[in-house]
């Protein structure tokens, strides 16, 4: 997966990348094929996707507890039920995360719109557009994280099964989408996932530096005992001795 993102480049309407130093090309049609998304009726095209303004009006109609002026104002947790649950399911299916993602991107809102109206939306195209955006902006300092790692695994497996020249050693320690449930039971992964989603706070690293005062003695300091100085008695004169 690291090699895929390190070598992925946008070329016209396709993505070029390498697996085991072997060049490969991915386009929308191949992406739709590997996801098994096709038209219900061959002669019928996919429905036209709504614009941003139409999506905003749609979200206002289904209910949102705060005013919506821009798409960035939309928060999944502020949607009314049952649409809040639908939006959470969409996030879970796409990202594999059930929490920690409160924003709603345009592609996800368009998917919800398609479910609501029962319209044959080209879901593969929506996910593909997100992929293209990630590849195009991967070198930016503040680029967003890859939202769909499970789909990246589908892409790699698709090309590895169709290109015998790719070394099978790449499948060592490799897990597939069907193994995500088993993979999520590993203790180390659970701890990482909890921190990554914000459900848990990372444990602070133990500092090897000792603070000032660590070497100070814990015993109570002794109180100095005052010493009494005895002065010498005055000598008697010879006259006083004879008395």
36 CB-contact burial (10 Å; exposed 0-12 / middle 13-18 / buried 19+): exposed
User: Residue 30 pLDDT more than 80?
Assistant: yes
The boundaries of the domain holding residue 85 are: 1-197
Give the model confidence (pLDDT) of 47-72 as tens digits: 899 999 999 999 998 888 888 888 88
Residue 105 lies in a domain: yes
**Among candidates 202, 203, 198, 201, which has minimal Cα distance to 98?**
198
**Among candidates 135, 119, 117, which has minimal Cα distance to 127?**
135
Residue 192 lies in a domain: yes
Task: Look at strands 14-19 and 9-11 and give their pairing.
Answer: antiparallel
Give the model confidence (pLDDT) of 175-197 as tens digits: 444 445 544 555 655 665 566 55
- Predicted TM-score (pTM) of the model is 0.58
Residue 166 lies in a domain: yes
Largest alpha-carbon pair distance within the chain? 149
Residue 226 lies in a domain: no
Residue 207 lies in a domain: no
Residue 79 φ/ψ region, left for φ over 0, alpha for ψ in the -120 to 50 degree band, beta for the rest: beta
Residue 203 lies in a domain: no
Number of structural domains, the chain? Answer: 1
3-state secondary structure 12-68: CCEEEEEECCEEEEECHHHHHHHCCCCCCCCCCCCCCCCCHHHHHHHHHHHCECCCC
pLDDT class for 217, splitting at 50, 70, 90? very low
Report the range out of 79-83, 137-141, 209-213, 237-241 with the highest average pLDDT.
79-83
Residue 124 lies in a domain: yes
Residue 102 lies in a domain: yes
Average pLDDT over residues 160-174: 64
End-to-end CA distance of the chain: 118
């Amino acid at each position: 997966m690291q090699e895929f993102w390190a070598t992925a480049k946008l070329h016209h309407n396709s993505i070029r990348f390498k697996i085991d130093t072997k060049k490969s090309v991915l386009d929308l049609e191949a992406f739709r094929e590997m996801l098994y998304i096709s038209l219900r009726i061959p002669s019928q095209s996919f429905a036209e996707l709504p614009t941003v303004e139409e999506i905003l009006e749609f979200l206002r109609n289904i209910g949102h507890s705060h005013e919506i002026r821009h798409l960035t104002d939309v928060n999944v947790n502020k949607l009314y039920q049952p649409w809040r649950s639908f939006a959470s399911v969409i996030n879970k299916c796409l990202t594999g995360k059930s929490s920690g993602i409160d924003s709603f991107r345009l592609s996800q809102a368009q998917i919800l719109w398609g479910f609501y109206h029962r319209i044959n939306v080209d879901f593969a195209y929506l996910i593909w557009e997100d992929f293209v955006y990630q590849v195009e902006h991967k070198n930016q300092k503040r680029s967003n994280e890859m939202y769909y790692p499970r789909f990246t695994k589908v892409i790699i497996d698709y090309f590895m099964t169709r290109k015998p020249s790719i070394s099978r050693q790449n499948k060592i320690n490799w897990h597939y989408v069907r193994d995500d449930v088993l993979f999520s039971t590993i203790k180390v992964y659970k701890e990482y996932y909890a921190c990554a989603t914000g459900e848990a706070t990372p444990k602070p690293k133990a500092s090897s530096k000792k603070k000032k005062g660590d070497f100070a003695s814990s015993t109570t300091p002794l109180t100095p005992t005052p010493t009494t100085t005895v002065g010498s008695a005055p000598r008697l004169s010879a006259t006083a001795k004879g008395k």
